[in-house]
Structure 1
Amino acid sequence: MAGKSGARLGARMLCLGAVMLCIVQVASAALPNCSYPAVYAFGDSLTDTGNSIAAFPEKFANAELDPNGILFPTHAADRYTDGKLLVDFLAFGLRRRPIYPVLRGTAGDFTFGTNFAAYGAPARTVKVWYKDDAFSVPFSLDVQQQWYERYKIRLWFYESPVYNPAGRLVQSLPKLATVNESMFLVWSGYQDYFFSLYDKKLTVSQTRKIVPEVVDAIETLIEQLLTPVYYTPPGFPTFLMPTATEILVVNLPPLGCIPAMLTLYGGPKAKYNSHGCLSELNKITSAHNKLLGERVIALRAKYPKAKIYYGDAHGVYTDILKDTKKYNVTEPLSACCGVGGSYNFNTGVTCGHAGLVDGKFVNLTMSLPATPCANPSGHLSWDGIHTSNTFNKAAVTDFLLGKHITPAGGLGCSPDFFFWNSST
């Protein structure tokens, strides 16, 4: 009996030891904090925090008018959404603050990075541009890349003891050397497709044919971010500028599920999928996302030292459509800030404007804290064109937790969700 009791005790101690060993192993395998010196962003109105309104204040005046920003920062802040953009959630999750647009003339804090994205900016190079074109600007990805290169040169000048002796010129800027430790976001292509269709400049079939051009432009930007650039400061030897080493490339949400597209292209002859989205328009984003994903894989092979992540925004959007209750989404295909029709969208009076719809005066410029719809958090689209705070939060939450992102495991670090629902 004593021998059996001793054996049992030994077995229990062995099991306890194994459990303790597992606990120690789990503790030692804890992920490090997601923390980057800065965040840099490129893209269009899904990412811009004020570049286009800085360049064309009259054209984009409603970006800083109510009801934009009802959730964050509780007043309009140059963002076309009700709260945080995807880039805002990304910055918060990486233990940074929201980043300012590079063209910001006053009160800009660039300590934690810079935003080069611009409303109306296509991925493809703008060759001909007319000032009166709605929703468009000449700040395509190639221009944004030029801003970025010039930005690095200015970092060098501010750090130079010759051109800035004793640091007399004070700016809130990250160090040039931290560029290759920072996170870069590239989310582009939406402008190329959406507004070609919205303005009826291209047919659906014609829009599908520009997919290779759009993806080529995005790939070109990524390669430029990864390629070292030589710089020769006046009176100094030539040196290599730091390059990006971690880039998050995000694909596009399904075009056929956007309220404006459903309003313009829906009808009895249109084909819909099981979620009520337009099948033909979804083929455009599916083709884009497939080709973009293939290019990202090729770039990983070409630049093995870099970390190139592929964020599947389309997958997040589809997940929500499949299980709206899980995400507390009540109006997945309807705009929050809009008016009329099955999708609460009308091209005559869009969010931030007032006018007549069917002979009745409609005001979509309401003052805060009034809300443009009963439950803003229940919508995936804010204004029928741009993604809502709800979608942006869901997408970045997934990316940071390793879901809908490749390589498997995503960033491989522990994010910070403290500011997820903050209004400041």
Structure 2
Amino acid sequence: MESHSSRIQVVTTLLSLTSSLAPIPLVLASTSCKFPAIFNFGDSNSDTGGFSAVFGQAGPPHANLATLSPTVRTPNTTLRQSGISPISLDVQYDEFYDVPSSRSQIVRRSNSIKVVNAVGKKQIKKDPLSSSLYKNKASLSLSLYTQHMEFVFLKHHVLFGLVIWATLLPSPGICTGPCSFPAIFNFGDSNSDTGGLSAAFGQAPYPNGETYFHVPSGRFSDGRLVIDFIAEGLGLPHLSAFLDSIGSNFSHGANFATAGSTVIFPNTTISQSGASPISLDVQLLQFSDFHTRSQIYRTKGELFEKSLPKEEYFSQALYTFDIAQNDITAGYKLNWTAEQVKAYLPYVLTQLSNAIKSVYGQGGRSFWIHNTGPLGCLPYVLVRFVTDPAQINKYGCADQINEVAQFFNQRLKEAVVQLKKDLPLAAITYVDVYSVKYTLITQAKKYGFENPLIACCGHGGKYNFDRYAKCGAKKIINGTETLIAKSCDDPTVRINWDGTHFTEAANKWIFQQIVNGSFSDPPNPLKTACRCS
């Protein structure tokens, strides 16, 4: 199979040829060609909803890979800096390559195709970005994008204020019986991404997914994530990534998380720093649009009724948050001191609190919030940010970085206490995954694991981790493309999967510790993490 880089080169070469060669006469068929499908690549001149699906309003594309304001080459500025889409032509081609080669045909064989159609004129929102799209403007200016963001968040805050005013009533009690959550809506980063980043920027390569799914599944693990076990624990199907157009079903919720996401919108591109352009505020935009448009589509026939959630599910659902790890490490990438990172974190927490308030303003009532894990025990952190051996403790973890993570967690817990006061009808559960993960790493042998600080899937070095040759990386050796970042022999006894993320076995163990409420505040089991009227 040809490599990603060679495929990009083919696209670039074809574009160069079409621009430099003399016109080539076409031989027209005497009868109509009867094209069975169209696959489009482009910018705003042919974008039928790609940009809006990611960054706010319009709808998912129907086999259309174009997005508003992309470039042929990967941009070196962010969307907010220049208005240029991060979905450049090479990314569009990567998305296309994933359609015919495997996933679309796998879904066809399983008889679970998702069909989409266009939204009518009456259903276009009256905000600046939607109006621009509907009026067919050719490009999106930075000021227009800013207006759109301000419009949406103003709408959320006004709604939030109205809800607070209308619900200052005696708080209902905590449920003692099962809550019967009909859906889950998740916001987060790679710890809970079930395919969002892969849908936007290309599939996470094999051996990701090898243990449970047996093919790449959009998850950065050999199998299931904690969010998958949460869904299973509630008797619900695994969450489909909101951005995934292949085989998705949103009848019981949606996953807005993408790997590399931050709470604060990044000021670097994904190619520069690995930070996803789909930060928490963008995920909230996606959720808001999904909430509105899913109910419009549910009126369009049985197929949509079966693949989209009922209106009442939005108030009855469990809302899960697992994000901010990348906000903490972003400071270290800028060579900040621990104190500088700590000084930045209150701003991150304010934005995270506002996000929860925004969801509450749209009807969300049950929240399950994970704190951040022991970052100083991750191979990628140890390789990239730790230069002084004195920082390493007896377990092999970096104490100073873990102290910053604990600083964040303590402030997050305080923020949750305040949120409980501000949101009287909400059931908010703070989950201490830090303690669970640190216990597992430092007592690995006790729980049947080994080599807790060595990546199962990677390449070279003390920790089997190389950020330039991550899990699934290939290299041309003697003219043959060869997998160099391979999986270990037995992922079921390993904790770290790829230097950053956990194995399915570790994720399952973590879930088993938190599901009964032992590490929660209040100490409610997962199935009772709601309020009863």
TM above 0.5, yes or no, is: yes
The one-letter amino acid paired with 1:153 is T
**Structure 1 CA distance, aligned partners of 2:305 and 2:431?**
36
Residues 349 and 362 of structure 1 are in contact (CA less than 8 Å); yes or no, is this contact kept in structure 2?
A: no
Distance apart, 1:313 and its partner CA: 0.9
Counting only pairs closer than 5 Å after superposition, residues 3-402 of structure 1 correspond to structure 2 as 32-33=177-178, 35-57=180-202, 61=203, 63=204, 65-126=205-266, 128-130=267-269, 132-160=271-299, 164=300, 170-197=305-332, 199-200=333-334, 202-228=336-362, 243-267=363-387, 269-355=389-475, 363-364=483-484, 372-402=487-517
Distance apart, 1:183 and its partner CA: 0.8
Distance apart, 1:223 and its partner CA: 1.0
**Structure 1 CA distance, aligned partners of 2:289 and 2:407?**
34
**Structure 1 CA distance, aligned partners of 2:177 and 2:482?**
51
Change (3 A) 1:365 1:346: closer
With normalisation by structure 1, the TM-score equals 0.77
Identity %: 29
Task: Specify which structure has the bigger relative contact order, considering alpha-carbon pairs within 8 angstroms and separated by 6 or more residues.
Answer: 1
Counting only pairs closer than 5 Å after superposition, residues 385-424 of structure 1 correspond to structure 2 as 385-411=500-526, 413=528
Residues 250 and 310 of structure 1 are in contact (CA less than 8 Å); yes or no, is this contact kept in structure 2?
A: yes
Distance apart, 1:363 and its partner CA: 2.9
Distance apart, 1:123 and its partner CA: 0.7
Distance apart, 1:204 and its partner CA: 4.4
- Cα shift readout 1:345-372 (whole Å, capped 9, x = no counterpart): 1223111103499xxx983465xxxxx1
**Structure 1 CA distance, aligned partners of 2:230 and 2:510?**
10
Residues 470 and 485 of structure 2 are in contact (CA less than 8 Å); yes or no, is this contact kept in structure 1?
A: no
- Cα shift readout 1:268-318 (whole Å, capped 9, x = no counterpart): 543123322101111210111010011011111222321101111101012
Residues 338 and 351 of structure 1 are in contact (CA less than 8 Å); yes or no, is this contact kept in structure 2?
A: yes
Residues 187 and 251 of structure 1 are in contact (CA less than 8 Å); yes or no, is this contact kept in structure 2?
A: yes
**Structure 1 CA distance, aligned partners of 2:447 and 2:393?**
21
Change (3 A) 1:316 1:362: farther
Distance apart, 1:167 and its partner CA: 5.3
Secondary structure at the counterpart of residue 317 of structure 1? helix
The one-letter amino acid paired with 1:298 is Q
**Structure 2 CA distance, aligned partners of 1:356 and 1:283?**
42
Secondary structure at the counterpart of residue 505 of structure 2? helix
Residues 400 and 411 of structure 1 are in contact (CA less than 8 Å); yes or no, is this contact kept in structure 2?
A: yes
Change (3 A) 1:348 1:178: closer
Secondary structure at the counterpart of residue 210 of structure 1? helix
- Cα shift readout 1:86-108 (whole Å, capped 9, x = no counterpart): 11111011110101011111211
Residues 97 and 112 of structure 1 are in contact (CA less than 8 Å); yes or no, is this contact kept in structure 2?
A: yes
Residues 348 and 355 of structure 1 are in contact (CA less than 8 Å); yes or no, is this contact kept in structure 2?
A: no
The one-letter amino acid paired with 1:408 is P
Q: How much is the aligned-residue C-alpha RMSD, in angstroms?
A: 2.6
- Cα shift readout 1:51-91 (whole Å, capped 9, x = no counterpart): 2222223xxx4x1x210012221211011111111111110
Q: How many residues align?
A: 352
The one-letter amino acid paired with 2:180 is S
Residues 441 and 495 of structure 2 are in contact (CA less than 8 Å); yes or no, is this contact kept in structure 1?
A: no
Select the structure that is richer in helix.
Answer: 2
Secondary structure at the counterpart of residue 272 of structure 2? coil
**Structure 2 CA distance, aligned partners of 1:168 and 1:409?**
37
Change (3 A) 1:258 1:168: closer
**Structure 1 CA distance, aligned partners of 2:360 and 2:432?**
21
Residues 206 and 216 of structure 2 are in contact (CA less than 8 Å); yes or no, is this contact kept in structure 1?
A: yes
**Structure 1 CA distance, aligned partners of 2:236 and 2:405?**
31
Distance apart, 1:32 and its partner CA: 4.3
Which shifted more, 71-80 or 265-274? 265-274
**Structure 2 CA distance, aligned partners of 1:265 and 1:70?**
30
Residues 450 and 495 of structure 2 are in contact (CA less than 8 Å); yes or no, is this contact kept in structure 1?
A: no
Residues 298 and 305 of structure 2 are in contact (CA less than 8 Å); yes or no, is this contact kept in structure 1?
A: no
The one-letter amino acid paired with 1:82 is D
Gaps of 5+ in 1: 1-29, 229-242, 367-371, 415-424
Residues 316 and 394 of structure 1 are in contact (CA less than 8 Å); yes or no, is this contact kept in structure 2?
A: no
Change (3 A) 1:171 1:119: same
